[in-house]
């Protein structure tokens, strides 16, 4: 009997050792979001919401403890919350840092919108963050001297290394490189070449790790070029475009989720340390109302949403009311709104005309006032309109000479690509001639134009102000006028449809 027990014990030891023996294979997971400006659900609560993302995050951690939550740039700005004052100062992305800290983000890349903030505000947000930042081509510029960005925890590194170990003891080092599109020039930022720095970062990192991944914020064309330049990177997790995509480039992939966490990408990775083979399985996960919000993160989100709604109620009573259903997405993306006439720009300018009972010849707003950098789709609430036009301001009814209107329109057209580009209503250019209500503009005629009040301050178009002699009169709306707040004008116009 003792011999049988001894044999069974010996066999159990062999079985245990065989099961626990390191097999050289390891699985790990990335949960990727990008271009997230809103912490709460959007489109009437149907999509997005960082507390829902956290629920997915927790599920993945239970599935595999080797899970990383990453952000591929653009999260500090623009947002409606970022524009309001709280405790005496503008929020400027503080709500996003608090939320991301609660979610235990592992790694974030700089996006171009991070540099919308002032150097001082960006430094505050970085110091408040508990997660790692990465960039290979962006440096801080102080009085002409460049150096890596820093925060109170450590400096922002060009690359990042994460070590994973599984249950049987297989251990690997995973590296990350990152670059940011140089589309937001600021005096305190120096951008280095995207491709040169991507290649340099990779070469500096590749011998220190088992495999390298990309976490970038550049255009899809640039991501594709990087994937071709560095074919041993199996996956680049990117941002910037706002529309989900999974693009195959040789043996690599470039993945981007939808903006505002309408979707997130789940990348399940298998790596064989002996063969160096990498297998990537990517799942696009829709973040919708079927996902129960994480309670802990939800409390942070609700805190900030209460602050926001109380602020909005100063202008409109029911901020969460669905006021319109957009069957065709309304395009408010920066690239579009600052370069071409969009359906959202037309809707806003129609609303400006509506606020004066259409007793104007045309309406104009600078593209830079439209700050959502996203598309509006499906159910639209009053909060969404505040997201589109966070700075508000009045709509002015201005009588100007046709000659000045022509100069304004020409200036706006030449400003394509900047915030001075003009979105318009009842204005078009045909055969190189500007028309208002389908008739050529007469330089000697007086026109009544609905302008956003910002335009009349002369910031975007220097010669357009009340000091110009060709500005004949300006009607300043009173508080009871629809035109007193451009957001109110848009909301009431949509309700009238």
Q: Are residues 247 and 374 in the same domain?
A: no
Query: Are 112 and 200 part of one and the same domain?
Result: yes
Q: Do 407 and 455 meet the contact criterion of CB atoms below 8 Å apart?
A: no
Looking at the structure, tell me whether residues 322 and 281 fall in a common domain: no
Please count the other Cβ atoms lying within 10 Å of the Cβ belonging to residue 371. Answer: 24
Backbone angles phi, psi at 146, to 5 degrees: -105, 145
Continuous H helices in 119-193: 119-128
How many domains, the chain? 2
pLDDT in tens, 147-198: 999 988 877 999 999 999 999 999 999 999 999 999 899 999 999 999 999 9
H-helix or E-strand containing 447?
strand 446-452
Alpha helices in 287-434 (DSSP H): 295-312, 334-337, 343-354, 382-388, 402-414
What CA–CA distance (Å, rounded) separates 193 from 195? 6
- Same structural domain, 326 and 237: no
In this structure, the dihedral spanned by the alpha carbons of residues 242, 248, 252 and 255, taken in order and rounded to 10 degrees, is 20
| Residue 16 within a domain | no
pLDDT of residue 200: 98
In a domain, residue 299? The reply is no
Lowest-confidence pick of 28-32, 78-82, 271-275, 440-444: 78-82
Q: Is residue 2 part of a domain?
A: no
Final residue belonging to a domain, choices 286, 301, 325 = 286
pLDDT digits (tens, 9 = 90+) for 62-113: 999 999 999 999 999 988 899 888 888 999 999 999 999 999 999 999 999 9
Same domain, 118 and 201: yes
Do 264 and 372 lie in a common domain?
Answer: no
- Name the pLDDT band for 345 (thresholds 50, 70, 90): very high
Give the end of a domain, one of 263, 286, 309.
286
Do 400 and 345 fall within a single domain? yes
Pair (242, 341) in one structural domain: no
Same domain? 282 vs 332: no
Distance CA 255, CA 233 (A): 13
What mean pLDDT do residues 288-299 have?
A: 98
Domain CATH number, residue 229: 3.60.21.10
Residue ending a domain, among 266, 286, 306, is: 286
Q: Where residue 20 falls among pLDDT bands split at 50, 70, 90?
A: low
> Rounded distance, CA 373 to CA 331, Å?
8
pLDDT score of 314 more than 90: no
Domain with 438, as residue range(s), is: 317-496
User: What residues pair up with 268 in beta bridges, in sequence order?
Assistant: 29, 281
User: Do 270 and 347 share a structural domain?
Assistant: no
- 33: in domain: yes
Mean pLDDT estimate for the chain: 93
Q: Over 70: is that where the pLDDT of 13 sits? A: no
How would residue 473 be classed by pLDDT, with cut points 50, 70 and 90?
very high
d(CA 297, CA 277): 37
> Do 322 and 270 fall into the same domain?
no
DSSP secondary structure letters along 74-125: --SSS-HHHHSEETTEE-TTHHHHHHHHHHT--EEE--GGGGGS-HHHHHHH
pLDDT digits (tens, 9 = 90+) for 200-218: 999 999 999 999 999 999 9
**What long-range pairs does 433-442 form, CB within 8 A, spacing at least 24?**
434/405, 434/406, 434/409, 434/410, 436/361, 436/362, 436/405, 437/361, 437/362, 441/402, 441/405, 441/406, 441/409, 442/402
Whether residue 9 has pLDDT greater than 60? no
């Amino acid at each position: 009997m003792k011999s049988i027990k001894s044999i069974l014990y010996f066999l159990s030891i062999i079985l245990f050792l065989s099961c626990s023996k390191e097999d050289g294979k390891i699985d790990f997971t990335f949960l990727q979001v990008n271009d997230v400006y809103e912490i709460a659900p959007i489109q009437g609560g149907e999509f997005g919401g960082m507390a829902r993302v956290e629920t997915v995050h927790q599920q993945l951690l239970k599935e595999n403890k080797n899970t990383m939550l990453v952000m591929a740039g653009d999260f500090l700005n623009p947002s409606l919350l970022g524009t309001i004052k709280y405790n005496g100062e503008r929020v400027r992305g503080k709500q996003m840092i608090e939320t991301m800290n609660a979610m235990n983000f592992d790694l974030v890349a700089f996006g171009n919108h991070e540099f919308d903030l002032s150097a001082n505000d960006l430094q505050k947000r970085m110091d408040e963050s508990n997660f790692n930042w990465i960039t290979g081509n962006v440096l801080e510029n102080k009085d002409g001297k460049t150096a890596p960005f820093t925060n109170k925890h450590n400096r922002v590194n060009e690359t990042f290394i994460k070590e994973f170990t599984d249950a049987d003891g297989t251990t690997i080092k995973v590296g990350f490189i990152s670059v940011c599109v140089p589309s937001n020039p600021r005096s305190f930022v120096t951008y280095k070449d995207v491709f040169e720095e991507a290649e340099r970062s990779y070469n500096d990192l590749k011998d220190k790790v088992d495999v390298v991944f990309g976490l970038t914020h550049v255009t899809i064309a640039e991501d594709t070029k990087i994937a071709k330049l560095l074919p041993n990177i199996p996956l680049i997790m990117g941002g910037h475009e706002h529309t989900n995509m999974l693009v195959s480039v040789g043996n690599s992939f470039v993945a981007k989720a939808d903006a505002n966490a309408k979707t997130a990408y789940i990348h399940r990775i298998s790596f064989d340390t002996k063969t160096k083979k990498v297998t990537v399985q990517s799942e696009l996960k829709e973040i919708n109302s079927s996902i129960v919000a994480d309670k802990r993160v939800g409390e942070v989100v609700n805190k900030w949403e209460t602050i926001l709604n109380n602020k909005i109620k100063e202008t409109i009573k029911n901020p969460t009311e669905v006021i319109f259903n957009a069957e065709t997405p309304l395009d408010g993306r920066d690239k579009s709104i600052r370069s071409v006439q969009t359906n959202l720009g037309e809707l806003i300018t129609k609303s400006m005309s509506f606020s004066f009972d259409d007793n104007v010849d045309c309406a104009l707003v600078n593209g830079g006032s439209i700050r959502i950098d996203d598309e509006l789709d499906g159910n639209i609430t009053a909060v969404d309109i505040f997201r589109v036009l966070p700075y508000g301001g009045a709509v002015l009814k201005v009588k100007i000479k046709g000659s000045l209107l022509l100069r304004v329109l020409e200036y706006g057209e030449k400003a394509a690509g900047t915030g001075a580009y003009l979105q318009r209503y009842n204005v078009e250019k045909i055969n190189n001639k500007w028309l208002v209500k389908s008739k050529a503009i007469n330089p000697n005629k007086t026109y009544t134009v609905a302008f956003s009040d910002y335009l009349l301050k002369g910031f975007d178009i220097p010669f357009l102000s009340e000091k110009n002699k060709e500005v004949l009169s300006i009607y300043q709306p009173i508080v009871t006028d629809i035109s007193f707040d451009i957001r109110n004008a848009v909301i009431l116009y949509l309700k009238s449809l």
